[in-house]
């Protein structure tokens, strides 16, 4: 018999939870190295910045964890969304456990005022997509998951000159005061990145929100690396790219936003800042082996830039969504 219960990861034995995750990853995303236990434990203890608070459930057969569900209650612009991930061990799928877990999380989603449920970790064409469809979710976005595998990439990809009229600036951690204002404006250029029919909205960046996000990243031990292109004539930030690294996973870089202000597009700045980021990271962190990123499939410019600096598509992912009121 399978039982479902709320799960508090603090102080829990995460071995069974991790085993389900690794088995599921091997079935659905075999091209990616498995998430180490310490990484899973770290994420459960402190969700990544911007994810909001989380709640967890597990399904057990006897004492063994066979499946789990996690919900992130996104905040600010996205406080209507319950970002939900349901994972069932591949050896025990199609026995109603995924559906039972989804049913178990619904009261909490309602209690926290969520209007819609979204899942962003579904591999296109996988069990997950077919299940989501059967449960009434609709596909709202197609996403390419790409990785730059350092040992398999020609370093010539990172040899990109800075376009005339610009200079590059790098920092780790907090943005320098003198560029904070224009950096916050430049971050807003991410609003032009397509989101399909997802209810997700990019943050309205201000200097205060930049500082708050930096504090959140710091509190979680994440090191934010920024490369920005500064427009020489005005001294303002014209484009940026961010990669985060966590000391518990020194071989891995998490690509976050890359954005170029509309007036500065078409001059190769995106490629230039991304290439410089790789050069910088490799010089500073020789143990780095992978940089992973997700890009909207319709965002052809970003995908081209990613390929030019050596990113290779690993998997096609989809985001799914359903209104909570229709999931009763
Ligand atoms: C998605 C997932 C959680 C489903 O778990 P599950 O316990 O197998 O799902 P259920 O048994 O509740 O399936 C309910 C119904 O969904 C449909 N379904 C599920 N998997 C399916 C598949 N591979 N092919 C066709 N239909 C499927 C069926 O209609 C099924 O009912 P049936 O078995 O009576 O025909 C599981 O496949 C998984 O862990 N996938 C990887 C993670 C993932 O993609 N999660 C997505 C949700 S965010």
| pLDDT above 80 (res 328) | no
Q: List phi, psi (to 5°) of 57.
A: -135, 150
**Residue 49 pLDDT level (bands cut at 50, 70, 90):** confident
- Write the pLDDT tens digit of every residue in 212-242: 999 999 999 999 999 999 999 999 999 999 9
**Ligand 1: which residue has its CA nearest to atom 32?**
94
306-323 pLDDT tens trace: 999 999 999 999 999 999
How far is Cα 133 from Cα 168, in angstroms, rounded to an integer?
46
Q: What is the pTM of this model?
A: 0.94
Residue with the smallest CA separation from ligand 1 atom 25 is 130
Q: Which domains does the chain have, with CATH numbers?
A: 2-114 (3.40.630.30), 148-317 (3.40.630.30)
**First and final CA of the chain: distance in angstroms?**
24
Phi/psi of residue 238, each to 5°?
A: -100, -20
* Distance between CA atoms of residues 167 and 276, nearest Å: 11
Q: Is the CB of 127 under 6 A from ligand 1?
A: yes
Question: Which of 61, 131, 327 gets mutated to test ligand 1 (max ligand atoms within 8 A of its CB)?
Answer: 131
Looking at residue 136, the DSSP 8-state letter turns out to be T
Give residue-wise pLDDT tens across range 31-41: 999 999 999 99
d(CA 319, ligand 1 centre) in Å: 15
- Average pLDDT value for residue range 249-258: 97
The answer to whether residue 22 scores a pLDDT higher than 90 is yes
CB 272 within 8 A of CB 302: no
**Closest of 210, 195, 202, 225 to residue 285, by C-alpha:** 225
Per-residue pLDDT tens digits for 122-157: 999 999 999 999 999 999 999 999 999 999 999 999
Q: Is the pLDDT of residue 47 over 90?
A: no
**Distance, CA of 301 to CA of 274 (rounded, Å):** 13
Helix, strand or coil, per DSSP, at residue 142: strand
Indicate which atom in ligand 1 lies nearest the CA of residue 27.
41
Q: What is the pLDDT of residue 196?
A: 92
Query: Alpha-carbon distance 216 to 210, whole Å?
Result: 10
pLDDT confidence bin for 26, thresholds 50/70/90: very high
Q: Which of 10, 49, 47, 22 is nearest to 217 (CA)?
A: 49
Rg of the chain taking only CA atoms, in angstroms: 20
């Amino acid at each position: 018999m399978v039982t479902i219960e709320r799960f508090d990861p603090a102080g829990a034995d995460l071995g069974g939870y991790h085993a389900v995750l690794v088995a599921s990853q091997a079935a659905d995303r075999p091209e990616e190295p498995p998430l180490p236990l310490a990484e899973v434990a770290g994420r459960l203890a402190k969700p990544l910045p911007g994810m909001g608070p989380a709640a967890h459930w597990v399904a057990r057969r006897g004492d063994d964890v066979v499946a789990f569900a996690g919900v992130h209650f996104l905040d600010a612009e996205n406080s209507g969304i319950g970002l939900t991930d349901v994972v069932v061990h591949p050896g025990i799928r199609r026995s109603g456990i995924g559906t039972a877990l989804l049913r178990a999380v619904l009261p909490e989603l309602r209690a926290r005022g969520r209007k819609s449920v979204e899942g962003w970790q579904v591999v296109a064409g996988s069990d997950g997509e077919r299940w989501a469809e059967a449960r009434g979710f609709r596909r709202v976005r197609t996403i390419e998951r790409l990785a730059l595998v350092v040992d398999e990439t020609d370093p010539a990809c990172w040899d990109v000159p800075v376009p005339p009229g610009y200079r590059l600036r790098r920092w780790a951690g907090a943005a320098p005061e003198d560029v904070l204002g224009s950096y916050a404006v430049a971050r807003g250029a991410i609003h032009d990145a397509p989101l399909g029919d997802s209810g997700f909205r990019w943050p309205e960046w201000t200097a205060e929100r930049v500082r708050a996000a930096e504090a959140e990243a710091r509190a979680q031990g994440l090191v934010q690396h920024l490369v920005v292109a500064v427009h020489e004539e005005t001294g303002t930030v014209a484009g940026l790219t961010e990669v985060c690294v966590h000391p518990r996973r020194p071989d891995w870089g998490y690509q976050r936003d890359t954005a170029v202000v509309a007036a500065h597009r078409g001059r190769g700045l995106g490629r230039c800042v991304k290439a410089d980021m790789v050069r910088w990271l490799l010089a500073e962190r020789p143990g780095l082996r992978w940089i992973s990123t997700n890009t909207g499939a319709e965002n052809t410019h970003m995908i081209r830039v990613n390929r030019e600096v050596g990113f290779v598509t690993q998997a096609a992912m989809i985001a799914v969504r359903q209104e909570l009121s229709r999931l009763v």
